Structure 1
Amino acid sequence: MNNSQYIVGVDVGGSTINLGVIRNGEIVKKISVPTPAQESKDVVVDAIIAGIEQVSMGFDILGIGIGVPGLVDEKRGIVYQVTNIPSWDEVHLVDSISEHFGLEVCLTNDANCYVLGEKFHGKGKPYDSVVGITLGTGLGVGLVINGSLHAGLMSCAGELAVLPYLAHNYEHYCSGQFFQKEHGEEGKVLFAQAAAGDERALRIMAELGTHIGQLVKLTLHILSPEAIFFGGSIKDCSPYFEASMREVLKTFPYQRVLDLLVIDYSGEADMALLGASAIFEMRNQEIVESGLLESRP
């Protein structure tokens, strides 16, 4: 890829669409626009297009990478069942974006974008097998196995959030939903209280840590990666939940695995954007190597 060319990364969320222009793993321009989540599917697509036009103005754009919540048919570029955008039951997103801009567009799940960002542009660089866990309004899990993204059928690999756990599922107990649904409080309020030394808030944070510890144990049993990285807003609570999470991990039966395992927290707020550009770079390179497309100058 010529260094004069740039990739647009798009991270679509239920409330905000984050967009960035990326070159060589660095975000050179970034904007955010509201997601018209309650509008028709075309209105949401138009908001993405308008955001791409705005952020890319003045740049020589090579292609576009997009991360979205929900199920994704990567080969056909179709998004299904986006919980926070009700009208997005079936959206042919790649066709709409590529036809408008005349550029190649690549698409994957937003959790996949996060783990790709961490693997190729963050702390995950030294490791071949990495799990990225986003702790935010919801719970997302992305998988890199032997240096390659493992998205699975419909980008559904790693959907640990919906697995039954206690009275509900892992997302209920390991995301921002835990604070409201179990304790009737906003996470940011409890975080501030914990930082001030409030005993009740500290107990709730420790309780969160026990649940996250069980999630990590599940991840180890299924995948046993070299490293697990946490992203999302709830990771900022880690000073108050890490001790209880580590305590739960002591019950994992294979101490040698724990001795080698790396658990860390993302140092970059925009890893999903960097990962969106990485998904384009990866898919574009795969096409080049297949011989279906000549390498770009």
Structure 2
Amino acid sequence: MEFTDKAIGVDFGGTSIKFGVVLGKQIIAEAPAILPKDYPRPSELIQAIADTCLSLMEKHKDIKAIGCGVPGFVDTPTGRIHNLTNVPGWIDIPLQDLLSEKTGLPCIVENDANAMGVAEWKLGAGAGYQHLICLTLGTGVGGAVIVNNQIVRGSQFVAGELGQTSIHYNGRVGAYNNPGALEDYIGNNEFAADAQRAYFEAGIEKHIDDCTPAALDAAATAGCSVALACWDDFARKLACTLANCCWLLNPEAFVIGGGISKAGKTLFEPLRKHVDSQLSAPFRDHLRILPAKFSNEAGIIGCAVLALETADV
């Protein structure tokens, strides 16, 4: 699929907001990130986002649309934010209308995990698949579900929250009072804490900073048995959700992104083993489990793609 027009993608994170001018698969220009904490009121932050977009539009006169990916629940048709994760005060905000009014361009607002999924489905590792599930692994776990070449949004446009699906009916209680929520087992912080405990039980004292996914990947690559066991346990937990998705939706492929996916075969080899062990041949034999093509730029690219599609330029 070719995208020959320019759009601005806005990746609205809890700690920083990043901007890029996108042409096809490439981010051809960027603007300095802004920090939500510097703008205590939503109106102030929205104006800062609009001003940054206007500065990019001044340098690139042929920008056609703006897409903004946010970490929270969005009413997709209207671009109204129900609420944002880790950004206080953002409740029932008509961000799409406000950005369009301030910039004069068509705008869309999308959940950030869906934006990542769109980038991978349209232009990345998932290109060509009609039945695809994308996950982004980080502090939390986000998901995007594509069935019959359509992104699944659900009745209230909040489908695909795979991080909130349960892997244990009597497990850890998640943010929404849901026991066993996946991200409460494999989020970056939980993974590090579990690894620190595993080292302690093996008679090894480790600082939590030595238990990040990157540090555990390096330790596993060097042959550390504790780190290898931690990754196997991580993969087994993630495989539970992937297997559930297979039984429910029978996807052709999974695309896995986010920082943890950079572990490569340290993650993907045990993950494949555990997924295969839970599936029968019709689900297993043609299933692909793929690392994402795009890294931190996936959200910006996906938002730009959605903006151009919606603007119908």
For the aligned pair, the TM-score class normalised by the smaller chain equals 0.7 to 0.9
Q: SS of the residue aligned with 1:165?
A: coil
Q: Shift of residue 95 of structure 1? A: 1.6
Paired with 1:280 and 1:247, the residues of 2 have a C-alpha distance of: 38
Please tell me whether residue 275 in structure 1 is matched to residue 302 in structure 2.
yes
Aligned position for 1:244: 270
Paired with 1:16 and 1:7, the residues of 2 have a C-alpha distance of: 20
After superposition, what is the alpha-carbon deviation per residue over 1:212-266, rounded to whole angstroms, capped at 9, x for unaligned?
A: 1112101112221111101111101232122321222233232122111111001
Question: Which residue identity is paired with 1:237?
Answer: A
Aligned position for 2:9: 9
After superposition, what is the alpha-carbon deviation per residue over 1:39-76, rounded to whole angstroms, capped at 9, x for unaligned?
A: 22223323322332343331121111111111101122
Paired with 2:195 and 2:70, the residues of 1 have a C-alpha distance of: 29
Paired with 1:214 and 1:68, the residues of 2 have a C-alpha distance of: 27
* CA 5–240 in structure 1, closer or farther in 2 if over 3 Å, else same: closer
Moved more, 171-180 or 123-132: 171-180
Is 1:35–1:47's contact at 8 Å kept on the other side of the alignment?
no
Q: Shift of residue 195 of structure 1? A: 3.7
* CA 15–147 in structure 1, closer or farther in 2 if over 3 Å, else same: same
Aligned position for 1:46: 47
Is 1:109–1:155's contact at 8 Å kept on the other side of the alignment?
no
Q: Shift of residue 126 of structure 1? A: 1.5
After superposition, what is the alpha-carbon deviation per residue over 1:88-119, rounded to whole angstroms, capped at 9, x for unaligned?
A: 12221112111111111011111111111011
Is 1:8–1:21's contact at 8 Å kept on the other side of the alignment?
yes
Which of 174, 178, 185 is matched with 1:173 structurally?
185
After superposition, what is the alpha-carbon deviation per residue over 1:182-224, rounded to whole angstroms, capped at 9, x for unaligned?
A: 3343333333333443332222122111111112101112221
Question: Which residue identity is paired with 2:49?
Answer: I
TM-score, length-normalised on structure 2? 0.84
**CA RMSD between the two structures:** 2.2
Aligned position for 2:90: 88
Paired with 1:74 and 1:114, the residues of 2 have a C-alpha distance of: 15
Q: SS of the residue aligned with 1:67?
A: strand
Paired with 1:163 and 1:122, the residues of 2 have a C-alpha distance of: 25
Q: Shift of residue 281 of structure 1? A: 2.3
Q: Shift of residue 32 of structure 1? A: 4.8
Is 2:75–2:157's contact at 8 Å kept on the other side of the alignment?
yes
TM-score, length-normalised on structure 1? 0.88
Moved more, 135-144 or 54-63: 54-63
Q: SS of the residue aligned with 1:230?
A: strand
Paired with 2:258 and 2:5, the residues of 1 have a C-alpha distance of: 29
Aligned position for 1:28: 28
Q: SS of the residue aligned with 1:21?
A: strand
Aligned position for 1:291: none
After superposition, what is the alpha-carbon deviation per residue over 1:268-292, rounded to whole angstroms, capped at 9, x for unaligned?
A: 222221111111122223xxxxxxx
Aligned position for 2:138: 136
Paired with 2:58 and 2:100, the residues of 1 have a C-alpha distance of: 16
Paired with 1:128 and 1:240, the residues of 2 have a C-alpha distance of: 28
Aligned position for 2:241: 215
Is 2:4–2:24's contact at 8 Å kept on the other side of the alignment?
no
Paired with 1:201 and 1:220, the residues of 2 have a C-alpha distance of: 28
Paired with 1:227 and 1:258, the residues of 2 have a C-alpha distance of: 10
Is 2:240–2:275's contact at 8 Å kept on the other side of the alignment?
yes
Is 1:9–1:20's contact at 8 Å kept on the other side of the alignment?
yes
* CA 181–46 in structure 1, closer or farther in 2 if over 3 Å, else same: farther
Is 1:12–1:66's contact at 8 Å kept on the other side of the alignment?
yes
Gaps of 5+ in 2: 173-180, 197-207
Paired with 2:231 and 2:149, the residues of 1 have a C-alpha distance of: 34
Is 1:16–1:32's contact at 8 Å kept on the other side of the alignment?
no
Question: Which residue identity is paired with 2:153?
Answer: A
Gaps of 5+ in 1: 286-295
Q: Shift of residue 37 of structure 1? A: 4.0
* CA 27–238 in structure 1, closer or farther in 2 if over 3 Å, else same: same
Aligned length: 285
Which of 218, 226, 230 is matched with 1:200 structurally?
226
Is 2:167–2:182's contact at 8 Å kept on the other side of the alignment?
yes
Q: Shift of residue 134 of structure 1? A: 0.4
Please tell me whether residue 235 in structure 1 is matched to residue 247 in structure 2.
no
* CA 187–42 in structure 1, closer or farther in 2 if over 3 Å, else same: farther
